[in-house]
């Protein structure tokens, strides 16, 4: 092939690559270009709030959710399918009921449970609360959920995982009791668990800006240590 031909092929490959999804701006003031729909892609998850249409994320978000679902299925064959709440709407932008979820890098996911019960796909709101009067429900499977977090933070560009204050405490207590704080991967998982209100019924997974997305604005790094 002549040099000019090779340059053309390279340019085509590069443009196909860069024409992939793009996260623009910040999590709470951004947009999503050419996002992937979790429904069209047929990702094997249990999508909640179907009527809201918030199926869209960056490609890396779609891959992360798909890999998380695979991890759960392979590690715990009897587990419920991974339950996904809102990601972003087509094109991203402001989403009612959320401060963020604007650039395709945020997704809400139900904690793994002991009774493995799936919520209705068309309910208007979460059907299960995992914290009542400051006490974490027995039904929240701490072991499975923490192992899912550990998998996510060590294999995917997960920036933060927002959880309720009582839930973070419960994970810390569980980790101490089972002597997990000597394992750097568990410490890393706990480090990424950030306390945030309104996360008693789900956790919120936030990904870092993809390197290719030049106008994506990153968040300050999470401080070192488990925070327990
Ligand atoms: Zn969220």
Q: How far is the CA of 97 from the centre of ligand 1 (A)?
A: 9
Spell out the domain ranges in the chain: 23-207
Q: How far is the CA of 86 from the centre of ligand 1 (A)?
A: 7
Q: Report how far apart the first and last C-alpha atoms of the chain are (Å, whole number).
A: 60
Q: What is the pLDDT of residue 5?
A: 55
Q: What is the pLDDT of residue 146?
A: 98
How many whole angstroms separate alpha carbon 35 and alpha carbon 65? 14
Q: How far is the CA of 98 from the centre of ligand 1 (A)?
A: 7
Q: How far is the CA of 15 from the centre of ligand 1 (A)?
A: 32
How many whole angstroms separate alpha carbon 84 and alpha carbon 121? 10
Q: How far is the CA of 27 from the centre of ligand 1 (A)?
A: 10
Q: How far is the CA of 106 from the centre of ligand 1 (A)?
A: 6
Q: What is the pLDDT of residue 33?
A: 97
Q: Which of 129, 152, 147, 148 is nearest to 139 (CA)?
A: 129
Q: What is the pLDDT of residue 2?
A: 55
Angle ∠(118,69,204) on CA atoms, nearest 5: 75
How much is the pTM?
0.91
Q: How far is the CA of 85 from the centre of ligand 1 (A)?
A: 8
Q: How far is the CA of 13 from the centre of ligand 1 (A)?
A: 34
pLDDT along the chain (228 residues), means of 10: 52 52 97 96 96 97 97 98 98 94 98 98 97 97 98 98 98 98 98 97 98 96 96
Q: How far is the CA of 204 from the centre of ligand 1 (A)?
A: 5
Q: How far is the CA of 75 from the centre of ligand 1 (A)?
A: 25
Q: What is the DSSP string of the chain?
A: --HHHHHHHHHHHHHHHHTS-EEEEETTEEEEESPEETTTTT-SSEE--GGG---EE-HHHHHHHHHHHHHHHHH-TTSPPPEE---B-TT----TT-S---SS-EEEEPPPBSS-PPPPTT-SS-S--SEETTEE-TTB-HHHHHHHHHHHHHHS-EEEEEE-HHHHHHHHHHHHHTT-TTSHHHHHHHHHEEE-SS-SS-EEEEEPPPTT-TTBPPPPPPPSS---
What does the chain come to in residues?
228
Q: What is the pLDDT of residue 16?
A: 45
| 23-207 CATH fold | Muramoyl-pentapeptide Carboxypeptidase; domain 2 (3.30.1380)
How many whole angstroms separate alpha carbon 50 and alpha carbon 44? 15
- The answer to whether 35 and 91 have CB atoms below 8 angstroms apart is yes
- The answer to whether 172 and 190 have CB atoms below 8 angstroms apart is yes
């Amino acid at each position: 092939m002549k040099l000019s031909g090779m340059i053309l092929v390279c340019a085509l490959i590069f443009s196909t690559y860069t024409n992939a999804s793009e996260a623009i701006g910040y999590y709470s003031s951004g947009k999503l270009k050419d996002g992937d729909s979790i429904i069209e892609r047929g990702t094997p998850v249990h999508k909640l709030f179907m009527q809201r249409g918030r199926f869209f994320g960056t490609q890396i978000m779609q891959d992360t959710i798909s890999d998380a679902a695979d991890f759960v299925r392979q590690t715990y064959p009897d587990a419920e399918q991974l339950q996904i709440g809102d990601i972003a709407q087509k094109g991203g932008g402001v989403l009612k009921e959320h401060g963020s979820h604007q650039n395709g890098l945020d997704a809400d996911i139900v904690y793994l449970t002991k009774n493995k019960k799936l919520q209705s796909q068309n309910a208007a709101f979460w059907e299960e609360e995992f914290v009542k009067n400051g006490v974490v429900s027995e039904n929240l499977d701490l072991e499975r959920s923490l192992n899912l977090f550990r998998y996510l933070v060590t294999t995917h560009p997960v920036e933060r995982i927002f959880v309720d204050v009582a839930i973070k405490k419960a994970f810390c207590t569980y980790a101490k009791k089972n002597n997990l704080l000597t394992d750097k991967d568990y410490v890393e998982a706990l480090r990424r668990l950030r306390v945030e209100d309104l996360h008693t019924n789900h956790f919120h997974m936030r990904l870092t800006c993809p390197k290719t997305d030049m106008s994506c604005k990153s968040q300050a790094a999470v401080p070192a240590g488990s925070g327990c």
